[in-house]
Structure 1
Amino acid sequence: MLSTFSLRFEWIKRTLNFRFDAGTSRGVLKTRPVYWIKAFDPQQPERVGWGEAAPLVKLSLDDTPDFELLLEKELSRLQGINFENDAELVLLSLKKIVSPKLPSVRFGLETAILDFLNGGKKRILPNPFFDKNQPIPINGLIWMGDPEFMASQIEEKIDQGFDCIKMKIGAIDFEQELALFKYIRSRFSKNEMTLRVDANGAFSVEEAKIKLAELAKLDIHSIEQPIPAGKIKEMAALCKETPLPIALDEELIGVLEKAELLDSIMPQHIILKPTLLGGILETREWIRLAEERNIGWWMTSALESNIGLNAIAQLASSLNPTIPQGLGTGKLFYNNLDSPLLIESGTISYQSELAWENPS
């Protein structure tokens, strides 16, 4: 019989400040509040597990005005609950006892408890990223803004050695956005540079086909969420006829019937954000269902601090990804937590010789 353990929980809020105004089709981000969850046993003060609950504004199910009250209530409720001394059983327990309406809280608790279970060393799961310092290829992210700002970001990513670039579109004139892609293609073929597009649901159903046809001429790898989430029939028709592979992103948030959604739409890819989907088990389930249907996938962060980013990178690594992941957000903030995470030459790696800053 497995032994059991119980923990106490506390939370710390940090407001992360962007290095620039981060533009999306849903508005401009200047700050990002995150909540670090501390899991500990007073009898073992040197052993602490850390997780992160970071609901994303206007997207997360738990992006609510009373989030801090909900978080406090949830952590208090879990004080003293006995967990079995096994990582998979911990995950199953949390799926049962933490509401799917609190996806970021569940992910933060998963991470904090697994970190504690593994000795409080920021190791969440067995994975080559942490255990063997194996880098993960990632895409370079180009934020919305005026053409000059976007062009400068493109040059920066190229100089940094990225061979996969993802550009958010929908903020400026579409012809100007096409001109930026044409500029990249004038320098790099599709074999030299992978280009991804994230529309964040910015296209209307009527204009989507026309714009996808234009983008397809530029050998774009894929487009994320071309039309708003919730238009299932329209998205299904678009995925069936598209000249350009489509990846679902916002469409997955809050979905309980995963197989039904995938069968209804049959996208070419799905994008997985554990913070928005409810954590490790939910993300694994999406991947299993996608692979059964020959649907591609990759994982991305949702603007977490380095605590959340570390957990997502380890989860991605444990699942043997074959294409670049969306894990390049650690340098976006002035006041991110110092960590062993290193982004260079189009990869993210875990430099175990570097120390973590103590959350406070």
Structure 2
Amino acid sequence: MNDAILTPLFEDPQLSWERVELPLMVPIRTSSATYEKRDVLALRLRATVAGEPVEGFGECSPLPEWSAETISEVELALRGLTRNPAFQEGIGLAAERLDAALGNLAGMPTLRFGMELAMLDALARQRRVPLATLFAGDAPVDLTYGVRLQSTHALDPPAITAGRVRVSVGDSTRAAKLKVGLDPLETDVERIRLVREKCPNAAIRLDANRAFSFEQALAFAEAVAPFNIDFLEEPVACESVEEFAELSAKSAVPIAADESCTPPSFARELIAARAVNTLVLKPMSLGGLLPTLELIELAERAGLRVVISNLIESAIGRRAAAHLVAGSAHFKALEGSHGLITGNWLKEDLASERDKNLGGTLRLDDAPGLGFVPLPFASGKESP
């Protein structure tokens, strides 16, 4: 990371935001909830940096049944933040400076993510570089080929799932992520068998969203191991690093942590103990792109894999996460497919153009910052 981005002071910060409802193409069912829409807060920050006016955009979008805070709580917190003297004195991207300005609100990961992203976007726009450049340090950034995407599939009948995976992945080595744990074991196994049959080269990832007990998870892993599983994500609600380590040691397939990567302190413990094979990191849940980058660097040193994902966010948060991957492509930990294809799940979005998902990759613009002005602000709309 380029440490120079941590030094600028954003003076006289002014916030505005828009709350927007984005309907999904079809309901998304997981073991914890069914989603028909996403409520998002699009955020705009205006400030002065080194005497020059800057503007950047962020997103605060807690996901029900996943995030601890609600979107109404975040909106109320933003209203209070605009009257906070510590915030009005100026903010910066260094963790201690940002947390001091936010005070107790730094404990709301989605709010912290939105504020940090708005500053990063403003800084990249000021410097007239893509957002990805801010994360690269001295490494080159090439947006030509985009970010490789995993194909994510909900709980449909086995033959339908297999057909959809075949269309999206084909004979490639891209990852296909399947939800498991709500149907009987036989149904899950049949779904996985058919996917492997139709997509012999795909990296099959399974996400149980903590649906299993410890013993059920081991039995499930044994049943699906013949199908060359890339990893089984968060099969159990493990309460300690030791439980994760035991599960990984006994499982017939590699284990990934997802929900358990929040808070970042627990993710750091998982990495230190090498208790899992893979970490699925959602920057919105981790309180920012920079805390996520710190975990990527730790995972790299530990020889672990990292998948960057999102909370079914709008184009603001989703493309910001893709810029993080593109700007950190020099890390071996990030090789493979990432969970950022969810723009296809939304009937409407906050960018004027749909995601450029070409050949299984998300193509990013080389325009400054995020590469676009979110629609709620494109017409000059303001909120208190």
Aligned partner of 2:183 in structure 1 is: 172
Which residue among 12, 16, 27 is the counterpart of 2:18? 12
String of CA shifts for 1:177-214, please: whole Å, max 9, x gaps: 2112211222333xx21111111111111211111011
Which residue among 115, 118, 127 is the counterpart of 1:112? 118
Comparing 224-233 and 202-211, the one that deviates more: 224-233
Count of residues paired in the alignment? 354
Whether the aligned pair in 2 keeps the contact of 1:8 and 1:39 (CA below 8 Å) is yes
Structure 1 residue 158: deviation in Å?
A: 3.4
Aligned partner of 2:271 in structure 1 is: 262
Whether the aligned pair in 1 keeps the contact of 2:264 and 2:291 (CA below 8 Å) is no
Does 1:97 find its partner at 2:101?
yes
Comparing 226-235 and 348-357, the one that deviates more: 348-357
String of CA shifts for 1:153-178, please: whole Å, max 9, x gaps: 32442369783211111222221121
Comparing 180-189 and 64-73, the one that deviates more: 64-73
1: CA distance between counterparts of 2:183 and 2:32?
13
Does 1:359 find its partner at 2:376?
yes
Does 1:181 find its partner at 2:192?
yes
- Assess, with a 3 A threshold, how the Cα gap between structure 1 residues 265 and 202 changes in structure 2: closer, same or farther: farther
String of CA shifts for 1:314-360, please: whole Å, max 9, x gaps: 11111113211111111111111234531122110124589655225
Higher helix content, 1 or 2: 2
**Pairwise mapping of residues 152-231 of structure 1 onto structure 2 (< 5 A)?**
152-158=163-169, 163-189=174-200, 192-231=201-240
Does 1:35 find its partner at 2:41?
yes
**Pairwise mapping of residues 296-311 of structure 1 onto structure 2 (< 5 A)?**
296-311=305-320
1: CA distance between counterparts of 2:123 and 2:227?
48
Does 1:143 find its partner at 2:149?
no
Residue segments in structure 1 that go unaligned for 5+ positions in a row: none
CA RMSD in angstroms comes to: 3.1
Aligned to 1:21, the other structure's residue is in SS state strand
String of CA shifts for 1:27-47, please: whole Å, max 9, x gaps: 211111111111114999995
Seq. identity, %? 24
Aligned to 1:343, the other structure's residue is in SS state strand
Does 1:238 find its partner at 2:235?
no
Which residue among 332, 342, 351 is the counterpart of 2:356? 342
Whether the aligned pair in 2 keeps the contact of 1:140 and 1:157 (CA below 8 Å) is yes
- Assess, with a 3 A threshold, how the Cα gap between structure 1 residues 273 and 111 changes in structure 2: closer, same or farther: same
Whether the aligned pair in 2 keeps the contact of 1:60 and 1:253 (CA below 8 Å) is no
- Assess, with a 3 A threshold, how the Cα gap between structure 1 residues 83 and 196 changes in structure 2: closer, same or farther: same
Whether the aligned pair in 2 keeps the contact of 1:162 and 1:345 (CA below 8 Å) is no
Aligned to 2:88, the other structure's residue is in SS state coil
Whether the aligned pair in 1 keeps the contact of 2:12 and 2:48 (CA below 8 Å) is no
Whether the aligned pair in 1 keeps the contact of 2:155 and 2:180 (CA below 8 Å) is yes
Residue segments in structure 2 that go unaligned for 5+ positions in a row: 1-6, 378-384
**Partner amino acid, structure 1, of 2:17:** W
TM-score, structure 2 normalization: 0.82
Comparing 61-70 and 293-302, the one that deviates more: 61-70
1: CA distance between counterparts of 2:73 and 2:21?
16
